């Protein structure tokens, strides 16, 4: 009596090969078997014995058979259709994966079968597949907006506003009374940037050493800007509103009530 041929692979190896393969031919290759008819039938038989999930392999082996004969397939199973649709973005892709004919009535036949089988097709985009949303990957910036950082963004906002309109901005390399110099329609303009979380009021003073008048303030005090120091204030509020106010309009002021200067508000 002939003895059964001993297997060179275990059930666990078969299970792993099936889970990581896209076709029965690939399963055979992973197990170092000849990917011919008897090899395929053998691993399929043992896969059925173990109750392995092979639904993701079904359409592959049938497509390979169709390609080998040069004839399009005719049928498909509900499980096979469900797996293929789940991994496709368009009906054309489904047709190709099933090995069906692109022409003819296969489009309608497959769509009707999907409806009858209650298969979810909400992710299908048809010819608009390139507009399908892509998987969202995490980015390493999770902090929320913090108004405490408003003073750090004022100069960047001012620079972007001027440059978006074609004006060249220069930043001083050493401390100066102004934050930037802008090449305006009327020549160079010295701009001082101020920020405020208060939508109605903003301070437009500068810190000066040696003018402190209180013990708590020490030797530093606040003074208005003078005409020879700057030309304009760029004011950026936490609300996103922006103002560009000539110094001449607020000369001598320490604080200004912004509603009075609505005529200087900038477009976004």
- Give start and end residues of each alpha helix (H) in the chain: 11-19, 24-30, 37-50, 55-69, 78-86, 91-98, 106-116, 150-163, 247-250
Residue 29 has a pLDDT of 82
C-alpha separations of 233 from 148, 176, 227 in Å? 21, 14, 12
For 41, the domain range is 10-53
**pTM score, two decimals?**
0.54
The secondary structure of 195-252 as a DSSP string is EES-SSEEE-EEEEET---STTTTTEEEEE--TTT-SEEEEEETTS-EEEEEHHHHTT
Per the structure, the count of domains in the chain is 3
Mean pLDDT of the chain: 83
Check: CB of residue 4 under 8 Å from CB of residue 10. Answer: no
* Same-domain status, 88 and 122: yes
- For residue 194, tell me if it sits in a domain: yes
* Same-domain status, 153 and 260: yes
- For residue 137, tell me if it sits in a domain: no
- For residue 138, tell me if it sits in a domain: no
Percent of the chain with pLDDT over 70: 81
* Same-domain status, 42 and 118: no
* Same-domain status, 89 and 36: no
56-97 per-position pLDDT tens digit: 665 454 555 555 545 445 567 788 888 888 888 788 888 888
* Same-domain status, 28 and 119: no
Average pLDDT on 140-156 reads: 94
170-208 per-position pLDDT tens digit: 999 999 999 999 999 999 999 999 999 999 999 999 988
* Same-domain status, 14 and 65: no
Residues whose CB falls within 8 Å of the CB of residue 256, separated by 6 or more in sequence, listed in order: 201, 202, 204, 245, 250
């Amino acid at each position: 009596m002939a003895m059964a041929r001993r297997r060179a692979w275990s059930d666990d190896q078969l299970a792993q090969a099936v889970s990581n393969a896209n076709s029965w031919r690939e399963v055979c290759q992973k197990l170092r078997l000849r990917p011919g008819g008897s090899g395929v039938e053998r691993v399929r038989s043992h896969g059925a014995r173990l109750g392995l999930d092979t639904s993701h392999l079904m359409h592959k082996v049938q497509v390979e058979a169709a390609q080998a004969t040069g004839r399009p397939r005719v049928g498909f199973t509900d499980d096979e259709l469900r797996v293929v649709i789940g991994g496709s973005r368009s009906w054309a892709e489904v047709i190709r994966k099933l090995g069906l004919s692109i022409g003819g009535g296969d489009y309608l036949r497959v769509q009707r079968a999907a409806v009858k089988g209650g298969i979810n097709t909400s992710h299908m985009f048809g010819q608009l597949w390139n507009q399908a949303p892509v998987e969202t990957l995490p980015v390493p910036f999770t902090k929320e907006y913090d108004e405490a950082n408003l003073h750090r963004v004022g100069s960047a906002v001012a620079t972007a506003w001027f440059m978006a309109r074609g004006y060249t901005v220069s930043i001083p390399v050493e401390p100066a009374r102004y934050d930037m110099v802008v090449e305006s329609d009327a020549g160079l303009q010295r701009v001082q940037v101020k920020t405020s979380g208060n939508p109605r009021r903003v301070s437009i003073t500068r810190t000066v050493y040696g003018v402190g008048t209180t013990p708590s303030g020490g030797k530093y005090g606040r003074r208005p800007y003078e005409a020879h120091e700057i030309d304009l204030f760029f004011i950026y509020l936490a609300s996103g509103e922006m103002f560009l106010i000539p110094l001449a309009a607020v000369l001598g002021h320490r604080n200004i009530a912004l509603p009075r200067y609505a005529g200087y508000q900038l477009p976004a």
